[in-house]
């Protein structure tokens, strides 16, 4: 898309996807996290009632989000001086409703630790969209942004059918909607959704303020660094999803020691997977951007180098949130992220004026460092988690990987980590 679209249009698309991501984080916080936590801990007889309550709440939330999108479509387009945004938001108001079954099928699979189905459904939906864009690129057809938004809706519909194939034997709804279940999910979700919104504000404040204080073209120039940093974060998201259902179980069975072990192992594993990518992209930043985005965006290489630093901090912060949600204490994480989100807005305002585009990356880095310090203090006091030991475990994962490779080559069984 960076090679097909003018920078101004690409900037509009970035603003659109960043706002859409906010609403997806609301969905995850208010529906996904409470549903998975309560479904995993519930007795078999209680699970149909929880599933019904969560699905009804999901429908209500999606309808509310769509109405908000319709109401904000034109004001946000005016705010960012991007008229094309309004049409994208209106199309997404429909796509948001299509996501109800798609994402609920995904949540059920996470609760049952069936990650194969999630992988296939997401690969199908996102792969089709990427394949469609690739075809347009090679036949030299430049699509309109509204055209791409409608294409997203079509692949979402197809993805629903794929997801259903993996959960049809797990769908078990109750005929009665219990008020108790709705209230439990609501009171848990109100803090996790606040946490997710604050997190997304921290993550997207830079693009939004660049769009307001500079231009949508400035957002487009800044975006390659964010896109590549998000790519580096893939292990963080994947491992967080795997470990999230296990935190509640570990706390119940082993207490603080179990939480300490799962946090240390998960963060160190994420960093072990992330570090090689960070080093390579940092050294060859200009070349990577040139190959993926084209010559016009090479100027964002220095921004990319700054954003890579906070990809090494995010695993600590995200797994802190996973632990707090898993032990049913989402309120603390929410308060921390609200504080940091406000700090990030203030820093972006001053740093953008002082340093230009790269100032926004500096501001976000400082904000992530702030929440990292707060998180580590709390984890040490609650679970005696030592940050230095997390770093030392990275070397153990590399040793484990080397032993695994040698065992495969020799045809023997490796020692488990």
**DSSP-derived secondary structure letter, 327:** T
Report which of residues 156 and 113 the model is more confident about.
156
Using 50, 70 and 90 to split pLDDT, how confident is the model at 71?
Answer: very high
The pLDDT of residue 249 is 67
Is pTM beyond 0.75? Reply is: no
Write out the two tokens for 338. Answer: 């609200």
Task: Provide the pLDDT confidence category of residue 248 given band limits of 50, 70 and 90.
Answer: low
Dist. CA 111–CA 32, nearest whole Å: 10
Alpha-carbon Rg for the chain in angstroms: 22
Cα angle 325-330-333, degrees, rounded to a multiple of 5: 110
CB 171 within 8 A of CB 108: yes
Mean pLDDT of 204-223: 76
Residue 225, Cα to own-chain centre: how many angstroms? Answer: 16
- pLDDT score at 68: 92
How is the chain split into domains, by residue range? 1-177, 194-407
pLDDT at 21: 82
Pick the range with the lowest mean pLDDT from 42-46, 89-93, 211-215.
211-215
Strand, helix or coil at 360? Answer: helix
Q: How far apart are CA 183 and CA 71, in angstroms?
A: 28
pLDDT tens-place string over residues 346-389: 998 899 888 888 898 899 899 989 989 999 999 999 888 888 88
Which is more confidently placed, 9 or 238? 9
């Amino acid at each position: 898309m960076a090679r097909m679209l003018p920078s101004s249009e690409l900037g509009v698309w970035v603003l659109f996807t960043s706002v859409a991501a906010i609403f997806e984080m609301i969905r995850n916080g208010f529906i996904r996290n409470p549903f998975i936590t309560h479904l995993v801990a519930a007795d078999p007889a209680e699970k149909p009632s929880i599933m019904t309550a969560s699905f009804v709440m999901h429908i209500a939330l999606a309808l509310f989000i769509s109405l908000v999108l319709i109401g904000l479509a034109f004001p946000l387009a005016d705010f960012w001086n991007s008229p094309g945004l309004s049409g994208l938001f209106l199309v997404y108001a429909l796509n948001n409703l299509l996501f109800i079954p798609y994402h609920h099928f995904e949540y059920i699979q996470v609760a049952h630790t069936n990650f194969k189905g999630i992988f296939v459904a997401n690969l199908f939906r996102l792969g089709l969209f990427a394949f469609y864009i690739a075809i347009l690129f090679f036949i030299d057809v430049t699509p309109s942004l509204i055209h791409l938004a409608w294409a997203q809706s079509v692949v979402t519909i197809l993805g629903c059918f794929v997801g259903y194939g993996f959960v049809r034997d797990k769908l078990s709804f109750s005929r009665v909607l219990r008020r108790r279940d709705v209230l439990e999910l609501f009171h848990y979700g109100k803090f996790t959704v606040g946490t997710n919104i604050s997190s997304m504000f921290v993550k997207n404040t830079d693009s939004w303020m660049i769009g307001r204080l500079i231009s949508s073209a400035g957002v487009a120039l800044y975006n390659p660094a964010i896109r590549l940093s998000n790519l580096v974060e893939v292990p963080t998201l994947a491992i967080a999803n795997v470990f999230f259902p296990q935190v509640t179980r570990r706390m119940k069975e082993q207490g603080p020691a179990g939480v300490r072990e799962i946090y240390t192992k998960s963060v160190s594993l994420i960093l072990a997977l992330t570090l090689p990518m960070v080093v390579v992209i940092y050294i060859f930043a200009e070349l990577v951007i040139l190959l993926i985005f084209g010559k016009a965006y090479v100027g964002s290489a220095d921004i990319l180098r700054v954003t890579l630093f906070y990809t090494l901090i995010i695993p600590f912060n995200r797994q802190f949130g996973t632990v707090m949600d898993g032990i049913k204490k989402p309120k603390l994480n929410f308060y921390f992220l609200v504080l940091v989100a406000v700090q990030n807005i203030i820093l972006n305002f001053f740093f953008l004026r002082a340093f230009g585009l790269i100032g926004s990356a500096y501001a976000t880095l400082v904000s992530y460092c702030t929440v990292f310090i707060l998180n580590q203090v709390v984890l040490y006091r609650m679970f005696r988690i030592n940050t230095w030991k997390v770093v030392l475990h990275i070397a153990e994962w590399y040793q484990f990987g080397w032993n695994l490779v040698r065992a495969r080559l020799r045809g023997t069984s490796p020692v488990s980590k």
